[in-house]
Amino acid sequence: MKRTAVLVLAVLFVAALCGAAAAADTLADAKKKGVFVCGVKDSTPGFGYIDEKSRDIVGYDVDFCQAIAKKMGVKLELKSVTSASRIPQLIAGNIDMIAATMTKTADRAKQIDFSVTYFFTGQKFITRKGEVKKLQDLAGKRIGTAKGSTSEQNVKKALPTSTVLSFDDYPQAFLALQQGKVAAVTTDESILANILAKAPDKTKYEIPNIQISDEPYGLGMRKGDTNLVAFVNKTVLEMEKRGEAKKIFDKWFGPKGMAYHMARTFKITDKKESWEK
Amino acid sequence: MFSYQFDWSVVTSGQYFEWLVSGLKITLELSVWSIIFSFLLGLIIAVMRMSNVRPILWFSHAYLEFFRNTPLLVQIFFWYFGSYQILPKAINDWLNSVNFEFAAAVIALTIYTSAFIAEDIRSGVRSIPKEQMEAARSSGFSYLRSMRYIILPQAVRLTIPPLINQFLNVTKNSSLAMTIGVAEITYQARQVESYTFKGFESFTAATLVYLGLSLVIAGLMTLYNRRVLSPMMGGK
């Protein structure tokens, strides 16, 4: 008897979860509740990190969330996520959208929907100065990165003989580089650049011009959440047209931005990736 | 009703199965080394803790309180990242050339667990009537020899049930080694998840592995107790 009751409760609970996830019109829900919940990184300098003075999460990703929430006319709420937790968090309904340095891939697109590419970069390495000139210099070496990221998969493909050590996040991977435990840290250039910018002994390291992949970032939303996807795409493309997107880029990565500068080699367009329909 | 499509094939064959098997191997190695070392170290600390020599007593007391009362994760980071700051460069270079992640994890697990084991053994020893020690000493055994031949063989037997707990804990705690990049079973399960998005399947496989390992350890310890230790004690 008791067992049946527990079983019924369990089924109801699961059904409720599925129901919440299936009946998704996040845009309407957010407008009704007056709050839009964005999942961002909190330790990735430049994109989402905790500002030393204000103790708030700030960055390129945060500014895009802010602009989208403003356009909706609702309050923005930020939740911190990691590379490994962001998709499960979105699917479970804990967050409404992922803005967390996430590369658009065909595999991920089976689980979630992506916006247009709002940031474009490529995967590179940080190494000790002068040690690495070409990719093959890293063959057979130990290379650090973060768990659950595309960086991990790309480096295994590009350097099959190397040993990949995956840490929980990039600051630990960089600490391992500083202590000589790995020969390089690999991930998207934009993230590397900002790690380097904040490193205390930055003159000892460099980012050699070796790129092993293209990394188009997309904002992630629940599968089939078409209203929200359309709204976000429209908003982001408008931001590009009005020059607001470029302003946000310059704020974080431009000449007057943070310590490490990058050129904006991309424009936000509605061009699809090759694997997208 | 369920939007999730189960696909058990990802964890039962092919490349991802191999990852999980290699993870299982590392988990086993981590657990076995940590169990052996922490038991030996725990014995030593327990004996020190019962010594009459003040400095030894103080040292063992400090050791116990320190390592029992700090989180294992912090200890793993300490041995892996923190040790770099205090060791000379030559040793660091050597450590970086070998598989230091694994060693740091074993060191952390060993030291953390030995503190608990020492306390378990001590309570086993305390339950042996102190007349036995007195009788041993008056028969001419030294303190260490009385411990070795009279007290500890009985105490260890009494300690078996709590020891099983500690050994099970070591096995499960070894999953924390993933934070410093040791590719044990939880690490591999997460890896399979990030490649296939089949998190439910991969973590179920990992869960079954831990469950199986725990049952095997508990079974072996019980068997050892029944076959070897009980007859030795003249028990039933």
Note whether residue B120 is domain-resident.
yes
Query: Residues 88 to 117 of B: which have CB under 8 A from any A CB?
Result: 92-93, 96, 100-101
Return the sign of the alpha-carbon dihedral for residues B141, B143, B145, B150: positive
Identify the CATH number of the domain in which residue B28 sits: 1.10.3720.10
Does residue B1 lie in a domain region? no
Å between B158 CA and nearest CA of chain A: 38
Give A200 or B62, the one with higher predicted confidence. B62
Q: Which residue has the higher pLDDT, A148 or A183?
A: A183
Beta bridge partners of A57: A50
- Is residue B217 in some structural domain? yes
Residue-number span of the structural domain to which B86 is assigned: 9-232
Structural domain contains residue B38 = yes
Q: Which residues of B touch A140 (CB under 8 A)?
A: none
Q: Which residue of A has its CA nearest to B189?
A: A148
Burial B187-216 (b: 16+ CB within 10 A, else e): bbbbbbbbbbbbbebbbebbeebbeebbee
Residue B195: its chain A contacts at CB < 8 A? 107, 153
**What ipTM was predicted for this assembly?**
0.72
pTM of the model: 0.72
Instruction: Give the start-to-end residue ranges of the domains of chain A.
Output: 26-121+217-253, 123-214
Domain count for chain B: 1
Sign of the alpha-carbon torsion through A75, A80, A86, A91: negative
- Tell me, yes or no, whether B109 lies in a domain: yes
Residue range A13-41: mean pLDDT, rounded: 77
pLDDT at A121 exceeding the cut of 80: yes
B213 located within any domain: yes
A166 phi/psi in degrees, rounded to 5: -100, 120
More confident residue, A24 or A189: A189
Q: Is the pLDDT of residue A225 over 80?
A: yes
CATH number listed for the domain at residues A123-214: 3.40.190.10
In CATH, what is the architecture of A26-121+217-253?
3-Layer(aba) Sandwich (3.40)
pLDDT per residue as tens, chain B (236 positions): 456 677 888 788 788 899 899 999 999 999 999 999 999 999 999 989 988 899 999 999 999 999 999 999 999 999 999 988 888 888 888 888 888 999 999 999 999 999 999 999 999 999 999 899 999 999 999 988 998 899 888 888 888 889 988 999 999 999 999 999 899 999 999 888 877 778 888 899 999 999 999 999 889 888 888 887 777 665 44
